[in-house]
């Protein structure tokens, strides 16, 4: 199949490579000349694991252009993967989608053959059928379902795992204008996906609601685990990892996203939760659970910052290991590590930071205000109190020797339990989230042993 993709950013570029890898000829459209030049020269336009190797194996089926008309006229399906930024009230804006629709429509007006348009950007419920569909009919001069088809088909992926997630999704979600459009897209994904996912076809509104609901539900799980961690910290002998491991055995609950640690971040989870809340309020059905989830998430950085400041000696340095919002990506949108560094700076602390992949992205926000360490060991050596805020595998290589100092013990706040407690206790003051104080009986036994 010949496919065109509008928008070659963090998701559009991997989508192009994955589809080309599966044998489809894929033309990408982007207004950024550097992006188009990179793709046409065989280079990945964004940084994502396994993307470059997938491009290398599919070079003859991958191209890019600035011209919507060239791409649409040469293909059978056009997928829209442009940003839908959040407005002042948290609702997603259709500005870029509508701009793309106008260009796609103008090209389709010149095309005699039936064409499928697929919207993959996250939008508010009612947008695909209520805004995009009538606009395409106006711009094309054709009737949806006759001259062209329309589907809403958002992705469920995580940056740092985009290639894997696109090949191995749990579910393919299709909102369809008509049976023909949905059937074509279903057959297409049956040939692309390697995980034999469940394919759910429905109308536009239900698909739009499903996309928002999935991410809102996941954020609720994350915030529940973080709430539980905070409760555990008040109870002697409590351990959030022990508790979540047990409750996750219940098939009604499961293990995923049940790690009591820091708040969620990134370009999707925070804003999707806010958008869902905004939708519910507008419709007179407040999403109180989603609002509480967001409030609890916003409390995580101040909570962590207060813990660090309480341990920080006068004139001391606080370290932040992890600036990306998750491992295997350099993205810092809504990053807990970056937010923590800013919180500590505002409190007047000296701050040193390190991240394997997000240093350059963080410089614009933190330049001249923090010290950028050359590696995790250097960050540890410079820190009186060190917080591990992103569970990068590289941080597991830290040793107790990296924390030894001439006077006093360094404090390590291991938010994700990356380091082995038994190797670091005694060398540092080892703290973690979700772990209650040692029971008095155990303290007494330890004292007797001494």
* Chain segment 57-115, per-residue pLDDT in tens: 999 999 999 999 999 999 999 999 999 999 999 999 999 999 999 999 999 999 999 99
Q: Are residues 422 and 337 in the same domain?
A: yes
Q: Is 60 exceeded by the pLDDT of residue 298?
A: yes
Per-residue model confidence (pLDDT) at position 440: 64
Per-residue model confidence (pLDDT) at position 406: 67
Active-site position among 144, 151, 268, 379:
268
Q: Are residues 147 and 234 in the same domain?
A: no
DSSP 370-414: SEE-SSHHHHHHH-SEEEE-S--GGGGG--GGGG--SSS--EEEE
Q: How many whole angstroms separate alpha carbon 316 and alpha carbon 177?
A: 61
**What is the CA angle 49-331-215, rounded to 5?**
90
In a domain, 438, yes or no: no
Q: Are residues 263 and 219 in the same domain?
A: yes
Q: Is 70 exceeded by the pLDDT of residue 324?
A: yes
**3-class SS of residue 203:** coil
Q: How many CB atoms lie within 10 A of CB 206?
A: 16
Indicate the pairing of strand 317-321 with strand 350-354: parallel
Per-residue model confidence (pLDDT) at position 310: 97
Q: Is 60 exceeded by the pLDDT of residue 297?
A: yes
Summarize the confidence of residues 338-362 as an average pLDDT: 97
Name the burial class of residue 24, with classes exposed (0-12), middle (13-18) and buried (19+) by CB atoms within 10 angstroms of its CB: buried
Q: Which two tokens stand for residue 147?
A: 């001259």
Q: Are residues 61 and 180 in the same domain?
A: yes
Per-residue model confidence (pLDDT) at position 55: 97
Question: Do 355 and 390 touch, CB atoms closer than 8 A?
Answer: yes
In a domain, 335, yes or no: yes
Strand pairing partners for 425?
428
Radius of gyration of the chain (CA): 25
Q: How many whole angstroms separate alpha carbon 346 and alpha carbon 14?
A: 38
Q: Are residues 98 and 235 in the same domain?
A: no
Q: Are residues 29 and 169 in the same domain?
A: yes
Q: Tokens 């080892």 correspond to what residue?
A: 430
Question: Do 218 and 257 touch, CB atoms closer than 8 A?
Answer: yes
Q: Is 80 exceeded by the pLDDT of residue 444?
A: no
Q: Are residues 261 and 348 in the same domain?
A: no
Q: Is 80 exceeded by the pLDDT of residue 396?
A: yes
Q: Are residues 68 and 162 in the same domain?
A: yes
Q: Crossing angle of helices 269-282/204-232, nearest 10°? A: 110
Q: Is 90 exceeded by the pLDDT of residue 445?
A: no
In a domain, 109, yes or no: yes
Pick from 183, 5, 179: which is nearest to 77 by CA? 5
Q: Which two tokens stand for residue 57?
A: 């194996």
151 is catalytic: no
Question: Do 258 and 213 touch, CB atoms closer than 8 A?
Answer: no
Q: Is 80 exceeded by the pLDDT of residue 442?
A: no
DSSP 332-358: -TT-HHHHHHHHHHHTT-EEEEE-SS-
Name the burial class of residue 272, with classes exposed (0-12), middle (13-18) and buried (19+) by CB atoms within 10 angstroms of its CB: buried
Q: For residue 324, give the CATH number of its domain.
A: 3.40.50.720
Q: Is 50 exceeded by the pLDDT of residue 383?
A: yes
Summarize the confidence of residues 245-257 as an average pLDDT: 96
Last residue of a domain, one of 255, 271, 297: 297
Q: Are residues 92 and 80 in the same domain?
A: yes
Per-residue model confidence (pLDDT) at position 306: 97
Q: How many whole angstroms separate alpha carbon 42 and alpha carbon 340?
A: 38
Dmax over CA atoms of the chain, in Å, equals: 88
Q: What is the pLDDT of residues 139-166, one digit of tens each?
A: 999 999 999 999 999 999 999 999 999 9
Task: Note down the domain range covering 359.
Answer: 300-432
Question: Do 52 and 59 touch, CB atoms closer than 8 A?
Answer: no
Q: Is 60 exceeded by the pLDDT of residue 3?
A: yes
Question: Do 316 and 409 touch, CB atoms closer than 8 A?
Answer: no
Question: Do 239 and 412 touch, CB atoms closer than 8 A?
Answer: no
Q: How many CB atoms lie within 10 A of CB 139?
A: 18
| Mean pLDDT over each residue of the chain, to the nearest integer | 95
Q: Are residues 93 and 166 in the same domain?
A: yes
Q: Is 80 exceeded by the pLDDT of residue 407?
A: no
Q: Is 70 exceeded by the pLDDT of residue 441?
A: no
Q: How many whole angstroms separate alpha carbon 340 and alpha carbon 286?
A: 30
Per-residue model confidence (pLDDT) at position 447: 47
Q: Are residues 311 and 280 in the same domain?
A: no
In a domain, 443, yes or no: no
Question: Do 244 and 260 touch, CB atoms closer than 8 A?
Answer: yes
Helical H runs in 28-94?
33-40, 51-56, 68-73
Q: Are residues 262 and 306 in the same domain?
A: no
Its pTM surpasses 0.85: yes
Per-residue model confidence (pLDDT) at position 408: 82
Q: How many whole angstroms separate alpha carbon 15 and alpha carbon 35?
A: 14
Q: For residue 251, give the CATH number of its domain.
A: 1.10.1040.10
Q: How confident is the model at residue 41 (pLDDT cuts 50, 70, 90)?
A: very high
Q: How many domains does the chain have?
A: 3
Q: Is 90 exceeded by the pLDDT of residue 368?
A: no
Long-range contacts of 54-57 (CB under 8 A, 24+ apart): 54/14, 54/17, 54/18, 54/20, 54/21, 54/163, 55/17, 55/20, 57/21
In a domain, 441, yes or no: no
CA distances from 318 to 175, 339, 367, 432 (A): 49, 14, 16, 16
**3-class SS of residue 204:** helix
Name the burial class of residue 111, with classes exposed (0-12), middle (13-18) and buried (19+) by CB atoms within 10 angstroms of its CB: middle
Q: How many whole angstroms separate alpha carbon 372 and alpha carbon 358?
A: 11
In a domain, 447, yes or no: no
Question: Do 152 and 115 touch, CB atoms closer than 8 A?
Answer: no
């Amino acid at each position: 199949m010949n496919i065109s993709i509008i928008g070659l950013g963090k998701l559009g570029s991997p989508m192009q490579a994955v589809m080309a890898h599966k044998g489809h000829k894929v033309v990408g459209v982007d207004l950024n000349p550097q992006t188009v030049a990179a793709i046409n020269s065989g280079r990945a336009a964004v940084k994502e694991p396994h993307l470059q190797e997938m491009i290398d194996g599919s070079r003859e089926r991958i191209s890019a252009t600035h011209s919507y008309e060239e791409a649409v006229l040469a293909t059978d399906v056009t997928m829209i993967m442009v940003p839908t930024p959040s407005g002042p009230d948290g609702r997603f804006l259709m500005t870029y989608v509508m701009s793309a629709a106008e260009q796609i429509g103008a090209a389709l007006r010149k095309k005699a053959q039936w064409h499928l348009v697929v919207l993959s950007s996250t939008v508010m419920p009612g947008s695909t059928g209520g805004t995009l569909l009538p606009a395409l009919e106006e711009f094309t001069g054709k009737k949806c379902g006759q001259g062209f088809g329309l589907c809403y088909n958002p992705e469920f992926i995580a940056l740092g795992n985009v290639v894997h997630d696109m090949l191995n999704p749990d579910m393919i979600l299709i909102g369809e204008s008509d049976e023909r459009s949905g059937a074509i897209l279903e057959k297409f994904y049956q040939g692309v996906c390697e995980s034999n996912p469940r394919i759910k076809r429905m109308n536009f509104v239900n698909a739009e609601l499903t996309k928002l609901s999935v991410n809102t539900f996941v954020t609720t799980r994350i915030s529940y685990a973080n709430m539980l961690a905070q409760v555990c910290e008040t109870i002697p002998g409590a351990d959030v990892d022990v508790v979540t491991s047990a409750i996750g055995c219940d098939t009604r609950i499961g293990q995923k996203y049940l790690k009591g640690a820091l708040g969620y971040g990134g370009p999707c989870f925070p804003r999707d939760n806010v958008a869902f809340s905004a939708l519910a309020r507008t419709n007179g059905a407040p999403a109180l659970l989603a609002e509480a989830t967001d409030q609890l998430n916003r409390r995580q950085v101040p909570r962590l910052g207060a813990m660090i400041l309480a341990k920080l000696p006068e004139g001391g340095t606080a370290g932040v290991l992890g600036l990306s919002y998750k491992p295997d990506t350099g993205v810092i949108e809504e990053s807990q590590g970056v937010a923590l560094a800013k919180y500590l700076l505002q409190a007047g602390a000296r701050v040193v930071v390190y991240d394997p992949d997000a240093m350059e992205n963080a410089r614009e926000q933190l330049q001249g205000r923090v010290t950028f360490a050359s590696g995790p060991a250097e960050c540890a050596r410079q820190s009186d109190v060190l917080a591990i805020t992103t569970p990068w595998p590289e941080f597991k290589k830290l040793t107790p020797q990296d924390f030894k100092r001439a006077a006093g013990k360094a404090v390590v706040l291991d938010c994700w339990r990356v380091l082995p407690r038994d190797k670091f206790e005694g060398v540092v003051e080892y703290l973690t989230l979700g772990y209650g104080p040692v029971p008095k009986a155990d303290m007494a036994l330890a004292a007797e042993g001494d």
